[in-house]
Amino acid sequence: MNKKKGMSLLAKQKAAGWVFLLPATILIFVMSFYPMVQAFIMSLQTGSSANLKWANPITFNYARMFKDQLFKRSVGNTFLYLIIQVPIMLVLAILLAQLLNNKNLKLKGFFRTCVFLPCATSLVSYALIFKSLFATTGLANTVLMNLGLIHENINWLGTPGTARFVIILALIWRWTGYNMVFYLAGLQNIEYSVYEAAHIDGANGWKSFWYITVPLLKPVIVMTFIMSINGTLQLFDESVNLTKGGPANTTITMSHYIYNNSFGQGVANFGYACAMSFFVFILVAILAAINLKVGDTRD
């Protein structure tokens, strides 16, 4: 008996799967993994962009990084934003999602759009808006002055403490609605009958939220926490556009300092910038791994 020629149906399906995956795989490799390898190699080199040579010792840029006081300050500023802004933003997002998930609420679409709208605003545009609002003669000082809460204009962006406050406030305003959408999607996958059963058993709103909503949203909470950490550790636009890292570099972030070493301070120091970039990459990976471990409820 002659054997049938050609591939079996299963083999054809597997081959088709690889054909569909191949373009995306090639693009990811070319656009992500290859530049990462090149950046790591460059982090072991010193000199100007046109005259790079191997560092002596090979870890020179990494040793320099831990002695650089300005880099340490940028790390401290970034973690300050992370520790304060991320928890406040995520708590507000989940509370807003809970409120806007009420089936009896009228104009839900309108309110959801209002909360999400800041996220659709351009990063540069919203930074410039906040810069105008908190200018010395801006709306914030005008309102506070008319309410009698202050007696002279506050230099919001010229004082370290208030400048950091403005950046944190801007981040909360910009990204709360973005995270709220994820929580809202998660809440809509929870059967409303679960809450009705809890209400019959005597659970009030707070107990229903704490013992039903939060546990069932745990995977979404972990995901948004990881994304927020990743985004905050790479914070750039607010530092550049709101305060330019000032006053006296007291609000500068890691990504802003990396940018300055790459393009913003005369001779491009790409080797040192790549070393700092890998430090940020390792921080993101470690914090993401910790969050995944904490959020994993499987035995």
CB 245 within 8 A of CB 251: yes
Q: What amino acid is encoded at 160 in this protein?
A: P
Helices 218-233 and 69-100: crossing angle in degrees, nearest 10, is 150
* Alpha-carbon gap, residue 278 to 286, rounded angstroms: 12
112's CB contacts (< 8 A; 6+ apart) are 100, 180, 184
| Residue 53 within a domain | no
Q: Is 254 exposed, middle or buried (0-12, 13-18, 19+ CB in 10 A)?
A: buried
CB 250 within 8 A of CB 163: yes
| Residue 79 within a domain | yes
| Residue 181 within a domain | yes
pTM (two decimals):
0.84
Q: Which of 127, 99, 96 is nearest to 236 (CA)?
A: 127
Looking at residue 296, what is its pLDDT? 65
For residue 90 the two structure tokens come to 């995520």
| Residue 265 within a domain | yes
Q: What string of pLDDT tens digits covers the 299 residues of the chain?
A: 444 556 777 888 888 888 889 999 999 999 888 988 888 898 898 887 678 888 888 989 999 998 999 999 999 999 999 999 999 999 999 999 988 887 778 888 888 888 888 888 888 888 888 989 998 888 999 999 998 888 888 899 988 899 999 999 999 999 999 999 999 988 888 877 777 787 787 777 777 878 888 888 888 898 898 899 888 988 998 888 888 888 888 999 999 999 988 887 666 788 888 999 989 888 888 888 887 787 666 54
| Residue 103 within a domain | yes
| Residue 14 within a domain | no
24's CB contacts (< 8 A; 6+ apart) are none
| Residue 5 within a domain | no
Q: Which CATH number does the domain housing residue 251 bear?
A: 1.10.3720.10
| Residue 142 within a domain | yes
| Number of neighbouring beta carbons within 10 Å of residue 179 | 25
Calculate the CA 160 to chain-centre distance.
Answer: 22
Query: In total, how many domains does the chain have?
Result: 1
For residue 217 the two structure tokens come to 């949203």
Instruction: Work out whether the CA dihedral 172, 178, 182, 187 comes out positive or negative.
Output: positive
Name the residue range of residue 266's domain: 68-295
